[in-house]
Amino acid sequence: MTAAAAAAGALFFVLWWMLQAEESPWVPAGLAASVVMLVAAFARLLVARRAFRNRDRQAMRDLYRQTAPYPATFTQVMHSTSRHAAALRALQKRSAAADARDSAETHRELYELCNEYLTGAETALHSLALQADGRVALRAGQERVREMQKHHLLTWARNSARSLTHEAQQRARLYEKVETANRALDCIDQALKVYPDDDELRISARAVREFITSSRVAHWVELAERAAFKGYSQRAIDCYRDALYYLSRDKPDADGEAAAERIMKEIDLLRARPGTDRAIDSQHRSPAGNLDPKS
């Protein structure tokens, strides 16, 4: 911030000196210096927030390593029954802490840790040096960790999708709504690649897609209503047709079919307005017709 303040001060005096011929030269100079300070403050806030997230993530990893009396790599501990049991207990403890915190990012990290555990266990099972009791313990641990892995991935997808969908609902512009909702859909799709038969994920994905469709339809219906209010019947009809396109592109349910019927009624009412046909003909008139000397 010291450098930013110095730069802002230098910019102020430079602009003030250059604009001495103008009336009140200190006003644009002060505005420019203020912009520099605001940009510097915003950049510092972003850096501090990122540093806080990295520090929090590193602290969680350090805590996890402290609770586990074994090296951080799961592959290194799978050949020892006692160390494997300690690793499994530490992972279960970390899983319980993630459930208590219920953070999407934490659930994602637990999913990755479970994946590392399963990879290390699978590697150890292919080793000829592993004893029979160790193999039994590893297979039992694999079953438990697979359940934890699924739980944390589904929880991450559900929490992330819910948060992003709520954020999309607060957006004012259509492209912002669609972009944010697509991010939510991407989280669900990542989980569906691992668990394609999960009904909850399919229902969530369908709900997000319906939100995207309804947002697009509402946008075009609003434009159509504005055009109709201003007397632009053909423009309103075109906007209604765009809304119908988005309704028909996704397989509509009963509500979608009812909305399509309402839109068709609005189109019929617009076509029945006096002068609508003449407006349509004028918009679709061929170039040759415009060359008529009587026109």
CA separation for the pair 224, 218 (Å, rounded): 10
- Which residues neighbour 228 within 8 Å (Cβ) at sequence distance 6 or greater? 236, 266, 270
CB 96 within 8 A of CB 67: no
- At 174, the pLDDT band (50, 70, 90 cuts) reads very high
Percent residues over pLDDT 90 in the chain = 34
In the predicted model, is pLDDT for residue 282 greater than 80? no
Please give the pLDDT value at position 285.
43
Taking the C-alpha atoms of residue 208 and residue 168, their distance in angstroms, rounded to an integer, is 10
Task: Delimit the domains of the chain by residue range.
Answer: 1-15+28-50, 57-165, 217-277
Residue 275's region, left for phi above 0, alpha for psi from -120 to 50, else beta, is left
- Return the pLDDT at 57: 57
Q: Is the pLDDT of residue 280 over 70?
A: no
pLDDT for 3-39, tens place per residue?
767 776 776 667 656 766 666 666 676 777 777 777 7
Q: 66-79: per-residue pLDDT in tens?
A: 444 434 455 555 55
From residue 228, alpha-carbon distances to 239, 253, 267, 272 in Å are 10, 27, 10, 13
Long-range contacts at 220-228 (CB < 8 A, ≥ 24 apart): 220/246, 221/263, 224/266, 228/266, 228/270
pLDDT value, residue 58: 59
- CB count in 10 Å sphere of residue 134: 18
Question: What's the pLDDT tens digit per position in 131-145?
Answer: 777 778 888 888 998
Chain mean position to CA 104:
12
Report the percentage of the chain scoring pLDDT > 70. Answer: 73
Residue owning tokens 């607060």: 170
The two tokens of residue 246 are 């988005």
Share the mean pLDDT of the chain.
Answer: 78
pLDDT of residue 255: 76
- Model pLDDT for residues 117-170, shown as the tens digit of each residue: 888 888 777 777 667 777 788 888 889 989 999 999 999 999 999 999 999 999
The torsion angle over the Cα atoms of residues 42, 43, 44 and 48, rounded to 10 degrees, is 100
The residue behind tokens 């074994």 is 70
Residue 101: which pLDDT band, with cuts at 50, 70 and 90?
confident
Using the predicted structure, report yes or no on whether residue 63 has a pLDDT greater than 60. no
CA distance 195 to 129: 33
Stretch (H or E) spanning 154: helix 132-170
Confidence of residue 257 (pLDDT cuts 50, 70, 90): confident
Radius of gyration from C-alpha coordinates of the chain: 31
Report the alpha-carbon distance of residue 128 to residue 135 in Å, rounded: 10
- Is the pLDDT reported for residue 291 higher than 60? no
Question: Measured in whole angstroms, how far is the alpha carbon of residue 152 from the centre of its chain?
Answer: 18
The Cα-based distances of 175 to 132, 212, 250 in angstroms read 58, 10, 18
pLDDT at 55 over 70: no
DSSP 115-151: HHHHHHHHHHHT-TT--HHHHHHHHHHHHHHHHHHHH
Look-up: residue for tokens 């099972």? 125
